[in-house]
Amino acid sequence: MALQGASSSSSSFLSFTDQYRWAYDVFLSFRGEDTRNNFTAHLYDALHRKGINTYIDYDLRRGNEISSALLKAIEESRIAVIIFSQNYASSTWCLDELKKILDCNKTRQQIVLPVFYNIDPSEVRHQKRSFGEAFEKHQHRFNDDMKVRSWKETLKEVANLSGFHLGNRNESEFISEIVEEVSRIVNRIYLNVAKYPVGIESHIQDINLLLSIGMNDIRMIGILGVGGIGKTTIAKAIYNSIAYQFEASCFLANIRENSNREGGLMHLQETLLCEILGDSRNLKVGSVDRGINVIKHRLCSKKILLILDDVDKLVQLENLAGDHDWFGLGSRIIITTRDQNLLTSHEVDSIYKMNELDHDKALQLFSLHAFKREKPIDDYVELTEDAIRYAGGLPLALTVLGSDLKGRSIHQWKSALDKLKRIPNKDIQMILRTSYDGLDDNEKDIFLDIACFFKTKDVDYVIKVLDSCRFFPDDGIQRLMDKCLISVDENEKLWMHDLLQDMGREIVRQESPKEPGKRSRLWFHEDVRSVLEENTVTNKIEGILIDLPERDLICLGSKAFMKMKRLRIFINRNARLSGGPNYLSNELSLLDLGECPLQSLPSNFHGKKLIDFQMRSSHIKELGEGIKNFQNLKFMSSFDCKFLTTIPDISRIPNLEELYLRNCESLIEVHDFVGSHDHLTSLSFFGCSSLKSFPRSLRMRSLESLVVEDCSSLQSFPDIECEMECLRFIKFDQAPIKELPSSIGYLTGLQDIYIKGCKNLMHLPTNILELQHLRNLCVKNFSEIVKLPKEKRCSTPCVMSTEECEISSNEELLLPPPLPALEYLNLCDCVLSKSDFFTAFNFSSTLETLEQSRSDIVILPTSIKRFVGLRCLMLLDCKQLEQILELPPNIEEGQLEEALSGGIIFPGNKIPDWFSHRKEVSNSDSCEIQINGPLCLDQIKGIVLCAVIGPTIGITPGTPPPDISAKIIGNGVERFLRERTIHLMDHVWLEYSIPESFNQEENSLRVEFSCESKIVFFKGCGLHLINKLEENVKVHPSVLPKNVDVEIEDSVASMDGIQVSKRQRDGDDDIL
């Protein structure tokens, strides 16, 4: 392991920031006489059609110097595509252009994609043939050997980059491949790095040397430094500049904080898997230990970039990136941390230690924030020197202090800096406090509340809570953002740096260092416990957060709440309170009692300022009178309140937005008015096993989400009495409702329906198909998906056919064109064998994912080809599935694990090229192939058989399917595999077998294919032994629909899975 420090490069930060303000997506560098009117023109047109902003120089080049406009265009392009052709090197203009591009690659993170058009990469790399001849002429023409040598080095360096080689390929396909790669890069979203990323270029260059992206090993790199030094900023910049070079990438932010939450490490594992594999629905790991195995299994063959940001414990690394072999070759893992010992213990390959900014960079960064220029105004030079001296080169301190002093007079600067001089030891937290001191009282309260209670919380939620406190948060939060004290991330969550949070909490601690009960806010678990149990609370306390290291009992003093008359915020995350409060402050805006055996709300409590009311394990039976005055309440939740029987009339809570009940086992009734509430946006019931009475009707014009899960007594669903266009999401899970009303058609804005485990619900109402905005439909365990009334007719003719039925274009269909916006359809565990689903459902091209796992489907009919937009088809564990007659034209991903009863069958007429032993025959009723040994089957993990079979002949009604057998013979041992299907076209039968029943030393292996009924003939057969070192076996793309490969993986060693999936062609010669 190497420990490397930062270099002191002085390159300008402006080049780095410009990478996010590109004028062009692509700059085309080419030799005009070679390619201007053919390949380059076609490539430009293809890029333009994709909406990719491309710069092309149409002017004929004259003279020896590149124009300033062309140099500017190169600098302002995100990607440079260099088209090397026979005469490229003969142009000094092209060579100078190339040198400029490589400079931008190094200083501006410009992406370079070399294209080798009718020329071999080695000719460019080593200056052979036409390139060699061109350089001989340059050598004679120029006396400047350095210039020529520089061109040669540039050519060699660029030619070594990954790119595209035409070779003998089709030019149109070649252009499409280039455009696809460019589109992937252009469409990638960058992480926000910094407003003024001063001094980070040198860090990026140094870390890139440690990463050595071109090497095909696996590396872990640590970025080490104190808080506020810029580790995360550098990691984001690195991510932006290199992520495109990997199959997948993930930036896991704030690991220290996120892992400390309940289930935090498991959630981080799921986030990692989700971002790398791109599937959020099927990646729940269940436990941290299982998550380790899933990561190792799913990512061990993927080349990924993983950033683990702000790691502070070894266990985090052990569970997220435990070892190098968890990831595929070429992977890079970057870890940011304050703890060098953690990196050493984890045996990372290199550690990059970040130091403070040098004087020049500190001056530049501070000046940009204070003056919006790189140097200070003349009158402020000395004062600026004082400021950066106190900041000590820490980027966060320079940023906050510069922003705080911006726009102030010289007198104000002197006053503020004099104050800094009185802070001992140049403590960074106290430096940051100078920004806090400039806030007004409301802004200070907002800042301290965020530091103590609301970091990472949704900004809109916090605004609502603090607005009830009359802190004017809309203006105040914006002021804090302007002061660089907080920020709002891409998920609309409030964020502040650790140093700023520590600074805010230290301010509160200093209110009464010795007596916690006299502080305004309490969050540290020891202080909270002592104050509540020893009854040392005072009227000064405004907020309490209980967050114990582990769930534990807190014995409340008898008068613990009585003295807290100014209490605004009470949050109990994980403590068991010994009793309910006998008094509650009427200043409360947020009351989360947590696990508290509350019998009833105190009679003195009217809760007119209450915004959020949460209770867990309370003994309350009825809320009734207790909540009648909660006029401003917006969020109400009840967890494990086993005695709660009813949800009362909430007409006197007009502003309620979210009502959430979980595991309220005695809840029987929800008042009818709940179904008429005008402001409710979310209504959720989980595990309310006794719930029988739901509102008889729904007239909720603001409702956006309705969830009913594990409510085992609820048998009816209310009628919908008005148009509810705001409702976007409905979920019913394990609820015995018998039917959905036909009035579901009033839900005109519905986008997502998830229904599963509702065993009494036999079918969906027909008019669900008329929902114009429905994007995701998940229905499971249905015996009849949609009951089709005969009076329904389709106005749009279409043609669909299977081997068993045909529907003419002149016949009327039973259904109108359904669900025009549908993108995802899940029919798992449904009865489909007797359904005319594929023929009757004329889905539009919007459907992208279709899941039919564990269904009873027998044949995937040819009519599925009408699903032209389908990209993903899932058929896991379809044990009755026998045939796949055809696949949609644009399918990219699918799974057929335990799906096919006799291997896998697909349309085709040739043995895949990867088979080591192939044999062609001419319409024979049998076919055999043999491999002579010794074979050493202990080194073989599987045998793949293949036969090309013609259409079944002489078919008449009642004709039984042919019995086609494959007999594997070795040293007298025989095994039989069979396939019984009728086919109307040429098809390929692939079968997988394990050699476990044979002797370890075989002298020969023979396979005989035959058909007793003589109603099929063979066109060829193949045999392939899979060595244990082989990672996978792929079917050649020519034998499957476009863009589809078949892979037989380790997991199918016992024929328990076959995957169909689109794969990245890492091994192709086309990509260098």
Q: CA torsion 504→510→514→515, rounded to 10°? A: -70
Tokens 């079918």, located at residue: 763
Before 934, cis peptide (omega within 30)? yes
Q: Is 126 exposed, middle or buried (0-12, 13-18, 19+ CB in 10 A)?
A: middle
- Residue 1048: helix, strand or coil by DSSP? strand
Burial code (b: 16+ CB inside 10 Å, e: under 16) for 295-305 equals beeebeebbbb
CA pair distance 1056, 393, nearest whole angstrom = 60
User: What amino acid is encoded at 1008 in this protein?
Assistant: E
| Cβ atoms of 13 and 65 closer than 8 Å | no
CA pair distance 743, 763, nearest whole angstrom = 15
Tokens 């007429």, located at residue: 909
Taking the CB of residue 287, how many other CB atoms lie within 10 A of it? 12
Pairing of strands 248-252, 54-55: unpaired
| Cβ atoms of 238 and 219 closer than 8 Å | no
CA pair distance 265, 220, nearest whole angstrom = 20
Indicate which residue of 97, 270, 443, 542 is catalytic.
97
User: What amino acid is encoded at 616 in this protein?
Assistant: R
User: What amino acid is encoded at 502 in this protein?
Assistant: D
| Cβ atoms of 761 and 740 closer than 8 Å | yes
The torsion region of residue 614 among left (phi > 0), alpha (psi -120 to 50) and beta comes to beta
CA pair distance 335, 212, nearest whole angstrom = 16
CA pair distance 434, 400, nearest whole angstrom = 9
Q: DSSP assignment, residue 786? A: B
Largest CA distance in the chain: 104
- The set of long-range contacts for 597-601, using a CB threshold of 8 Å and a minimum separation of 24, is 600/626, 601/626, 601/627
Taking the CB of residue 133, how many other CB atoms lie within 10 A of it? 14
- Residue 208: helix, strand or coil by DSSP? helix
Residues 6+ apart with CB under 8 A from 425: none
Q: CA torsion 676→677→682→684, rounded to 10°? A: -60
CA pair distance 657, 636, nearest whole angstrom = 8
Q: Residue 733's closest CA among 765, 760, 709?
A: 709
Query: What are the φ/ψ torsions at residue 305 (nearest 5 degrees)?
Result: -115, 125
Bridge partners of 993, per DSSP, are: 943
Angle, helices 410-421 vs 381-391, to 10°: value is 30
Sheet strand arrangement including 77-84: 54-55, 24-29, 77-84, 111-116, 164-165
| Cβ atoms of 247 and 216 closer than 8 Å | no
Q: What sign has the CA pseudo-torsion 325, 328, 329, 333?
A: negative
Q: Is 1001 marked active-site?
A: no
Q: Residue 362's closest CA among 315, 336, 394, 339?
A: 394
| Cβ atoms of 996 and 962 closer than 8 Å | no
- Kind plus residue range of the DSSP H or E element containing 77: strand 77-84
Q: Residue 596's closest CA among 574, 572, 582, 580?
A: 580
**Which residues are marked as active site?**
97
